[in-house]
Amino acid sequence: MNDFFLQYGGILYIVQFIFAVIIGLYFWNLLKGQQSRKTVMFRESEKETIKLKQMRSIKLSEPLSSLTRPKSLADVIGQEEGIDMLRSALCGANPQHVIIYGPPGVGKTAAARLVLEEAKANPWSPFNADSKFVEVDATIMRFDERNIADPLIGSVHDPIYQGAGAMGSAGIPQPKPGACTKAHGGILFIDEIGELHPMQMNKLLKVLEDRKVLLESAYYNENDPNIPAHIHDIFRNGLPADFRLVGATTRNPEELPPALRSRCLEIFFKPLEKEHIQRIVLNALERLNFEIDDDALTEITRFASNGREAVNMVQLAAGIAQMELKLRITKPIVEKVLNNGRFSPRPDIKPKERPTVGVVNGLAVYGATAGTIIEVEATSIPAAAGKGTWTVTGVIEEEQVGGAGHSYTRKSMAKGAVENVLTVLRSRYGINTRNYDIHLNFPGGIPVDGPSAGISMATAVYSSITDQPVDNLLAMTGELSVQGLVRPVGGILSKIDAARRAGIKRVIIPADNWMATLESIDDMEIIPVRNLDEVLSRALVGEVKKKTALQAKCRWHGPKHMGGLIAPDNDI
């Protein structure tokens, strides 16, 4: 053996040296390649960083919508009552979950963004300087039903999925916090909360109840010693999610799940009035250093239905003025904007100039909070005995409410309410309505639910049959029962506001809707009533013509007919 090594040792050393050189060159090239890749990556990263800096250095002028955005809750125009309620709900010692209802462009999102900063200023508030405001948009919120990804609630990246990283290679599931956990200790704002998927809505309700997010994974084993302690803690105790929810929606309250509504304080933002639109327009013009003619300002306030529309109109008008080298917006410029944008004027129903037979000012609510005046017209034409008919026009009998996944069809009850009206007129006033062709019309083609317009329809029909005019400066709302009683309805405050804006001097409401706050209204008379007799005595101009010649022709049918008077048999 020694002779072998003595004879071939030199050759073996040469072979060993060659292998060492080859292996060394291999690793040297490997390290050189890694270094070159790092150099290339560094150079590419440096190029991209320079590009980003160059892009960030380029800035256009700030949009007018951003310039006019409120900086504090006091800057939110036209929502004083809603802002007070929002402060009460979130800025005190025990903040509540909140849902804000209202039409688009009236300040819901702006108020939600600002309320946390005001709450932090209150020493009694549980919110502190570290409390976060996390905002998500339900219209673009996407999630996976298998919990692979859920940006709202949170999810688990299981080891088999791409991007699981080193922990995934070790077979460890990785919890990923969602917006609920990121908002812990602060406010989670969900814009258009009514658009959330029903499954996400149910998960959110569970989080609101538990104040934590519980996650599950088929790959989690509580006895696995390789899983880090913090992941064990998350799966056992959940991710913290103690926040206050603020949701905003343009939907009606009945379109949201009752379980969500029961957990939240509901706040309603009103549609903006003309004076509010005017203030928004003037604020926008001040930021642009532009002036405007009075008639141009009037045109914008007549067509803009919300603050966002008003600001967009101003921005377009200012652009046209700049192209014409002017710093003043005139009416022709505004008309160009309105014609191009195909804008429609705001509905502005005014009462008649004088008392009119068969015309009554009714009151209604559309959307979540908007009140309006509706004209109720009635015409009664004598017909052959017992051959009369009745017709209702101008009512949207069926409307689709909601959106994808939430839509349902709502039918008007107007025709059923007309049956109540005709029954009351026959039974209590001795008017044989079968001897008349009665036509009820609601000009404008609006959704009318029916019951709340009951006393309006009864007054209009009674007025048209007896030829008595109705007070043109009086409006009314209330459901009419078949016994002639006035039942309570909803949206009283919104309806009274609408009557005030229209110049109405007296408003009839059901006595059951009376509130102490209505006593503070001093610019109009609020009249609570319990039956149709009280309605007619206050609505008709002159003495109410009832129980006269018409009643003389009727005969009494006793208690069986609830004390009603009906026409003699030969008139039916």
Catalytic residues: 452, 495
Q: What is the largest CA-CA distance in the chain?
A: 150
Long-range CB contact pairs, 292-301, < 8 A, 24+ = 292/328, 292/329, 293/328, 293/329, 293/330, 293/331, 295/331, 296/329, 296/330, 296/331, 296/333, 296/334, 299/331, 299/334, 299/335, 299/338, 300/334, 301/274, 301/277
Dist CA 12 CA 79 (whole Å)? 94
* 265: three-class secondary structure by DSSP: strand
| Closest by Cα among 269, 363, 357, 287 to 73 | 269
8 A C-beta contact, residue 507 and residue 499: yes
* CA dihedral angle for residue 359, residue 390, residue 348, residue 255, rounded to 10 degrees: 140
What are 376's strand-pairing partners? Answer: 360
* 369: three-class secondary structure by DSSP: coil
For residue 96, report the phi and psi dihedrals to the nearest 5 degrees: -115, 160
Whole-angstrom CA distances from 570 to 302, 431, 466, 553 are: 56, 14, 21, 10
Structure tokens at 179: 């917006």
Dist CA 428 CA 308 (whole Å)? 52
| Closest by Cα among 161, 131, 133, 165 to 146 | 161
Give buried/exposed letters for 550-571 (b at 16+ CB in 10 A, else e).
Answer: beeebeeeeeeeeebbbbeeee
185 CB-side CA count, 13 A: 8
